[in-house]
Chains A and B, each alone.
Chain A
């Protein structure tokens, strides 16, 4: 069993760093630990997690339930700031949610009283763009996910897959640097899931965005990711970080793909 660990050097603060951003990792997770208090008992959700995410890469995190992968996403997002360790973007510690980090949840969480267009536009509420500018960007991103004709529909009228695509458009419309995906396709049927995986892959490549995907589906992780982080639960810790080596390994019709997937699933132990 391979046990490569991409250990990062514990970075100094931005003040002492050389401004050569291309070499420095875009998102750094350094020795992060977090425990919850569940009815008196302390539960270690994350234990000493360190990952360096390169700009533009697609990082998949796989693990069984309870390994803390969703918790980690929340920490990266900044909606939870109680933890030990550091999470830094460009060397700056993350303090709160920002327009540079967007997330797609497992449930689409579209607001039922807004139209598709309204939902996507909600992400631009805090931006300083003018109204026509906002409208243009909303339309652009709806086209990106292929739903420009449904701009006036309400979420109740959409299928699960369509609603999730709107959620993706909402996440991307503010042009974030980082796209976080928390088991985004878990609630969809198998066929829709395959189709959306292709779309996610295409979008991530076209937009040049840095993506962190959390999933329990090994095939999905291998298909979409440049690297795969395998996590174990109780406490949540990293088992292995493995690159998805060749491009052919990401081709589902290639037997090498399944070899990769099997290799990864053997890390489950």
Chain B
């Protein structure tokens, strides 16, 4: 009597002993943390929904006092009122404006400095060590001095945001340019490229992915710094909204501001990811 020729189903008692390990795939895939696959959407939203339910329950049954955990409706109320009287938009725009200014300043100067450092090993040797040491000092450490010098206005904030953008942009730009593959540079020599052509056609395009990494990090840094400096001393902006709400112990205002901050953070993340994918599409082959 011949054994039947049916295929063996995976996961049955006949499957591999170490059933917990995935079978060798035809194409081994590297997994990226944070990739939410659409198929798992249901389980994915289970947790947040559960948390929301708990939150609502706490408000309904007064598990935590209202000062500690205001009900969701209160937060929504703050957002709605803020939207209606325009204060929410105003604060958000002020904050975004500061980031934009700081990012622009820090980014542009950072790119220029980064290019110079990337092209010249001599300058790199002179500037880099000092720069790296300065980068070790937390931005907030500079703030008391900055505030004493230029008060609580926009200037110290934009300077701080600019600096936090400046650092990663310079480091990444200089590295990207300094690490253009030797073979590409030799190609430029073989084709008798002028200095300017070499920069434009070989060095800069080759360094673009790394430069972009620096800009992305700079923007993320700038946003983080904005929140910090607004909390330290500010009369407008989302940070001010948070500090104010905290002082009055009206946590619904704080939570509302946190929601907006989180939303902007998510939007930034998605936006930068989109740009990166567009950029990398014609840089095929690079990781």
Contact = CB atoms under 8 A, between A and B. Distances in A.
Partners in one complex: yes
Interface of A: 10, 12-13, 30-31, 36, 38, 74, 78-86, 93, 95-97
A38 B1 CA distance: 35
Interface stretch (B15-23, B166-174, B253-261, B268-276): B15-23
Nearest to B13: A95
A81 B17 CA distance: 10
Interface in B4-59: 5-10, 14-18, 23-24, 26
Nearest to A97: B17
Contact of B17 (A36, A38, A84, A96): A96
A95 B7 contact: no
A79 B14 contact: no
Given A36-B26, A74-B24, A84 B10 contact: no
Interface residues of B, number: 17
Contact of B7 (A31, A78, A83): A83
Interface of B: 1-3, 5-10, 14-18, 23-24, 26
A96 B23 contact: no
A96 B6 contact: no
Contacts of A13: 3
A12 B23 CA distance: 29
Which 3 pairs across A and B sit closest by C-beta, in order of nearness? A96-B17, A84-B5, A96-B16
28 contacts: A10-B2, A10-B3, A12-B1, A13-B3, A30-B3, A38-B26, A74-B24, A78-B16, A79-B16, A79-B23, A79-B24, A80-B16, A80-B23, A80-B24, A81-B15, A81-B16, A82-B7, A84-B5, A84-B7, A85-B5, A95-B14, A95-B15, A96-B15, A96-B16, A96-B18, A97-B16, A97-B17, A97-B18
A95 B17 contact: yes
B207 to A, nearest CB: 31
Given A83-B7, A84-B5, A96-B15, 9 more contacts: A10-B2, A12-B1, A74-B24, A79-B24, A80-B16, A80-B24, A81-B10, A81-B16, A93-B3
B26 A84 contact: no
B8 to A, nearest CB: 5
Contacts of A84: 5-7
A49 to B, nearest CB: 13
B17 A83 contact: no
A74 B16 CA distance: 11
Contacts of B14: 81, 95
B29 to A, nearest CB: 13
A82 B8 contact: yes
A82 B6 CA distance: 10
Contact of B10 (A38, A82, A93, A95): A82
A29 B8 CA distance: 15
A140 B2 CA distance: 43
A84 B14 CA distance: 13
A80 B24 CA distance: 8
A81 B2 contact: no
A86 B3 contact: yes
A10 B5 CA distance: 12
A123 B3 CA distance: 33
B178 to A, nearest CB: 28
A73 to B, nearest CB: 12
Interface centre among A30, A83, A96 (most CB of B within 10 A): A96
Contacts of A10: 2-3
A113 B16 CA distance: 27
Contacts of B1: 12
Contacts of A95: 14-17
A106 B275 CA distance: 40
Contacts of A83: 7-8
